[in-house]
Structure formats: C-alpha cells, structure tokens
Amino acid sequence: MQTQGAMESFLNTSKVALSNLSLYQTIRVVLGNQSCDLDSAVCALVQGLSEYVNIKTCGQSNIAVIPVLNIPEKDYRIKTEVVYWLRFHDIPQNLLTFRDQINLQNLQSNTDKKLELILVDHHTLSNEDIALKPLVIKIIDHRPLNPDWSWPDTLLNIKLAGSCVSLVGHDILKENSKMLDSQLASLLRGPILVDTYNMSTKGGRVTTTDVDVINKLEQLGKLTTDRTEVFNKLMKAKTDISELTIEELMIKDLKITNGVPVAVFPLLVENLLMKENAKEIIEKFSIDKNWTVIVLIGLNVSDGHISRDIAIFSTLCNQLGHDIIQALISSTQPHLNTELIKEIREKRYSICLYKLGNVEVTRKQILPIVHKTTLLHKSDQI
C-alpha cells in the first residue's frame, strides 16, 4: 500500500475535524478567492498544511485547521486545471472542503467557538462576507494593496509576485522546509509555471521571488520533470473546455469588483462570441445575476505566443458601461493598446470587442481600472 503523503494526511485530518467541530475551541479557516483558480486552490491547501504543522509543533490540540476552496462543490468540475493538478498529486475531491460545506457565518455567531480566517490570493471580501472582516488574522496576496481596504490588526504578507504560491512557498522554505516532500514541491511548482507562463519574461509577470522559490522547490523536491512539459499539460487541462457549457465558462474564472463581474476565458472572446447562442447566453447571465455590465477577457496561448482581447457587454443607454470602455481605452497605467475589433448592437444590449495590443496586461491590472471607474460612477450619481 502506498504511504500517505503529508498533504493527504492533513486533508484527512481536516475533514475529520470538519465533522467534529464541537471538539475544538478554535477553528482556523484558510480561505482562497472566489475564482478558485489553480493559484488560489493550491495556496489554500498548502497554507493550511503549514498552519497545521505549526500548531502540531506547538503541541496545540484544540485548533482545527480547515482549508476552504471558495466555490460550491458543484462548480469544482469547471475548474479543469485544478481538478487535473490535484488528481495528479493524489488529492481526491472527497478530501477537499468547499464553501458550501462550512457555514462561516454560523461559526462566527457561535460564542463558544473562536473563528479565525486566513485569506490567501485575495485581500478584499465580497458583500456576503464583509461581516467576517474582524476575524481575519493573516493575509497572503500577490496583488497591490487596495487602498479602500484597511487591515490594521492583521498580519500582512502582500508582495508583488507572478503567483501567490510563490509567497506561500517562500514562507515554507524559510520556516517549514522540513515538511517539503517531492509531492508538495511539485504541487507548488505548477501554479508558478501557469501564472508566469512558464517563467516567460514576455509575460511580464516573473519576479525574483518566483525565480528563487521555483529553483529551491526543484532542488529540494528533486523535481526532474521538464518545466515546459509540466506547463503544457497544465495549459492543456486549463483550456480543455470540451465538456463545459458557455454558462459554465462564464463562471470558470470569474471575479467581481464593486458589483461588476470580470470573467477570463481560456480562448479569445472573439472566438467565444462565434459559438452558438453565445450572445444570448451572456445576456441571460446578466439578467439572472442583475448585472448591467460584464467585462470579458480572452486569452490564447499557442506555441509560446500570447494573444488577448477584451469585450464589454452592457445594457443599452448604460453610462457605466460607456465609462468603463473609455477608462480602458485611455488607460496609461498600464497602456492596454486597445484596437476596436467590432461593436455588436442588439435590441437590449451592446458588446464592444477590442484587441489588447499589450499582451502583458492581465486581469490583475484591469480590475483596478474597472473598480476605480465604478467608484467614480457612483460618486457622480450622489
């Protein structure tokens, strides 16, 4: 029988704890972001393991550590690269904890329990989770700190990096390197390769932290598989949308900033819009969610060549949609180098599609532009 790895052993312990929370005084939840991409998922699992190791080392037995993937379990199949990568590392779905399997609000209101939150790969909370803010004890994120969010009593590890996993890995290499086995080192390496496009300088995302961490992971984990081979397999899994509907693609990699959804697709939006009933499905998606504007970002990686485009869906006579388009076109930090491909006008909505000449720009840089525009729009309405 194969020996159980450190991660699988921890996740077993975590699931047992989830079923017996009454036995614990403190519940420490490591919460990934709502897109649950590979970076976020691996961060939640590995940071959870690190917290668990630290607690065991200190001899504390009254703290349960629960890493949580911040999506309902039914949406897990949509995260194709996450499913592939965790399965590749012998991490079965039944050992994972999803957002709909733990009620954080109920735990917060339980005066007999102390709930602690660690946020990984994000540092802002949705409207539904805003009441949980006082419970956040630590944040690990690789995007710039949002000035609208203050965390005065929280331990912050916020530093620009291609992948948030690089920050988690850096801390483990510094404090818990003994827990690194080949499985864990490989698990960590994957998201770094994906988020940096195989450590490509063309993507503009690689930092010295990413370089240092991946080199040490490969050394300590004795990883001999070629980086390009790993990257290509992950990208194949990520872009395998053969079993997904357009509705599922809309939520596969979705983030919301100040009420505006920003969705990323593993194909160009121009090609997405060519699919049967795509425009009607996007319109229905907006109606069902009561969203008047949706930002759609497309990505295609082929033979090392990166192509990007962006579309803004908005209901007719929508000033916010117009303002977001103008903000994206006129942006200088960064320059998007937009080029209008086409404008689609229907009875109830319009879609403006642009080529992104600056292929180094990702959603991470576009989100602040959209967020700032929504704030200005709201202030103009007061």
- pLDDT tens-digit map of 219-255: 999 999 999 999 999 999 999 999 999 999 999 999 9
Give me the residues paired with residue 353 across strands. 311, 342
**All domains of the chain in start order, with CATH:** 6-234 (3.90.1640.10), 246-380 (3.10.310.20)
Structure token digits, residue 266: 């593993």
The whole-number pLDDT of residue 2 equals 42
CA distances, 46 to each of 40, 295, 322 (Å) = 10, 31, 42
Q: What is the pLDDT of residues 126-140, one digit of tens each?
A: 888 999 999 999 999
Dihedral Cα 364, 367, 369, 373, nearest 10 deg: -170
The whole-number pLDDT of residue 382 equals 56
CA dihedral (300, 304, 305, 309) positive or negative: positive
Q: What is the pLDDT of residues 348-366, one digit of tens each?
A: 999 999 999 999 899 989 9
The whole-model pTM stands at 0.89
Structure token digits, residue 286: 């907006």
Structure token digits, residue 250: 């809309």
Structure token digits, residue 98: 């999803």
Structure token digits, residue 212: 């240092």
Q: What is the pLDDT of residues 204-217, one digit of tens each?
A: 789 999 999 999 99
Evaluate if residue 3 carries a pLDDT over 60. no
The whole-number pLDDT of residue 379 equals 67
Per-residue confidence band for 21, with pLDDT thresholds at 50, 70 and 90: very high
Per-residue confidence band for 314, with pLDDT thresholds at 50, 70 and 90: very high
Q: What is the pLDDT of residues 365-378, one digit of tens each?
A: 999 999 999 998 87
Question: What is the average pLDDT across 10-33?
Answer: 97
- Mean predicted lDDT score pLDDT of the chain: 94
Spatial neighbors of 338 by CB under 8 A, at least 6 apart, are 310, 328, 329, 354, 355, 356, 357
Strands of 338-345's sheet, edge to edge?
254-257, 260-265, 293-302, 305-315, 349-356, 338-345
Q: What is the pLDDT of residues 160-212, one digit of tens each?
A: 999 999 999 999 999 999 999 999 999 999 999 999 989 988 767 899 999 99
Question: What is the average pLDDT across 326-342?
Answer: 96
Contact 81, 73 (CB under 8 A): no
Evaluate if residue 1 carries a pLDDT over 60. no
